[in-house]
Structure 1
Amino acid sequence: MSERITRAVIRRAQPGDAATIARVEVDSWRAAYLGLVPASDLNALSTQVREASWRRILTHGAATGSRAWLLDAGDAVLGFASAGPTRDEDDDPTEVGELYTIYLLPAAWGRGLGAALLDTAQADLARRRHRAMTIWVLEGNTRARRFYELAGFGRDGARRRARVGAGTLPEIRYRRAL
């Protein structure tokens, strides 16, 4: 794995990448949310359903300002991220960008690759003249929260309940200036 990682590049995702993104997303969810999300919900995740959703997002994302990037090691995609204008009603989408998703295969965790994807999304939002960036994270996801805090994000006080599987879980919003 480490040899592939040294040759990984970040590239813009295309509609043809939907199946790969879905696989990374499902594999990452099953590892990252174990103990936070009921196992029955994690086991019910479908790469086919996620693929259809990602195909729509990647095909029509330009209309909403959404963009996605892959961490591509040539023979395997190790992770992805997506970002665009905020979807939150309490922020101005011309001023605030949002990191919608960032997921890595579990074997790629802890190697600085998530930071490279985050940097790519931040740079893109800054080029588009967003002044701040937000991300919603499950309150119980201490690993992700630590990652965002190390990257300069701080909690901004916003909270909500996110639909996850058959239930809802508390999320908190993080923010940083760009």
Structure 2
Amino acid sequence: MAEATVRPAEPSDAAGIAGIQLATWRAAYTGLLPAEVLDGLDADEAAATWLHTIEQGPARVFVAFEGQWCVGFCAAGLAPQDDSADANGVPVPDAERVALVSTLLVEPRWGRRGHGGRLLATAGSAMLAAGLARGITWVAEADKASLGFWERAGWVVDGTVRTLDAGGTPLREVRLTGTLRFELED
């Protein structure tokens, strides 16, 4: 394997991040999202959104490389209180110290090579340095691969669920929570 690295995203990475997002969603979410939602994804619109996030936040974005190839990315930042609240919508006592990992994607052809773990460890370190203490993420309940990744990282389903409207189809997500400190294995 070529050298694997992770670094903060730069504005010039936005189009590559959008490409990874679209390719990964179209490969991994077929069956979870309606075909018209996946077919309607727009690369230019996604790139503009990622450029805005890289330049202005609110999340920090990190990119993973294998050699010269950008293979994945992660976005994380302070969790909005709606995301970290308990199942009844009541803010949690540590709401000001909860990070939301809003996106962590590795293009499928580059999967199972440690890129997801390196992205999560880098984002976790950055969130700890920003004064955050623990993390949360939302995962489609039917996405067994992603659930397995988060569970291997030591995160647990905390019992909170939400249902999103995915192009007229309900998409049930579960919330996971865990540490922001990770020990990577060689």
Q: TM-score, normalization: structure 1?
A: 0.89
Counterpart in 2 of 1:54?
50
Deviation of 1:74 after TM superposition, in Å, equals 4.4
Distance in 1, Cα, partners of 2:79 & 2:149: 20
Q: How many residues are paired up?
A: 171
Deviation of 1:163 after TM superposition, in Å, equals 3.6
Which residue of the other structure, out of 63, 66, 69, is the alignment partner of 1:70?
A: 63
Counterpart in 1 of 2:88?
none
Contact 1:41–1:166 (CA under 8 A) maintained in structure 2: no
Q: Where do 5+ consecutive residues of structure 2 fail to align?
A: 86-91, 181-186
Distance in 2, Cα, partners of 1:83 & 1:44: 25
Distance in 2, Cα, partners of 1:107 & 1:159: 30
| Superposed CA offset, 1:52-111 (max 9, x none) | 1111111211xx3x2010112343210000100012331444211110101111101112
Distance in 1, Cα, partners of 2:44 & 2:113: 29
Q: SS of 1:26's equivalent?
A: helix
* Residue identity matched to 2:172: P
- Report the more deviating stretch, 137-146 or 49-58: 49-58
Deviation of 1:40 after TM superposition, in Å, equals 2.2
Matches for 1:25-104 after TM superposition, within 5 Å: 25-61=21-57, 64=58, 66-89=59-82, 90=85, 91=92, 92-104=94-106
Q: Where do 5+ consecutive residues of structure 1 fail to align?
A: none
Counterpart in 2 of 1:117?
119
Distance in 2, Cα, partners of 1:169 & 1:151: 24
Counterpart in 2 of 1:138?
140
The Cα RMSD (Å) is 1.5
* Residue identity matched to 2:65: D
Counterpart in 2 of 1:129?
131
* Residue identity matched to 1:85: L
Q: SS of 1:17's equivalent?
A: helix
* Residue identity matched to 2:34: P
Q: Compared with structure 1, are the counterparts of its residues 77 and 22 closer, same or farther at alpha carbon in structure 2 (3 Å cutoff)?
A: same
Counterpart in 1 of 2:179?
177
The percentage of aligned residue pairs carrying the same residue is 32
Deviation of 1:36 after TM superposition, in Å, equals 1.0
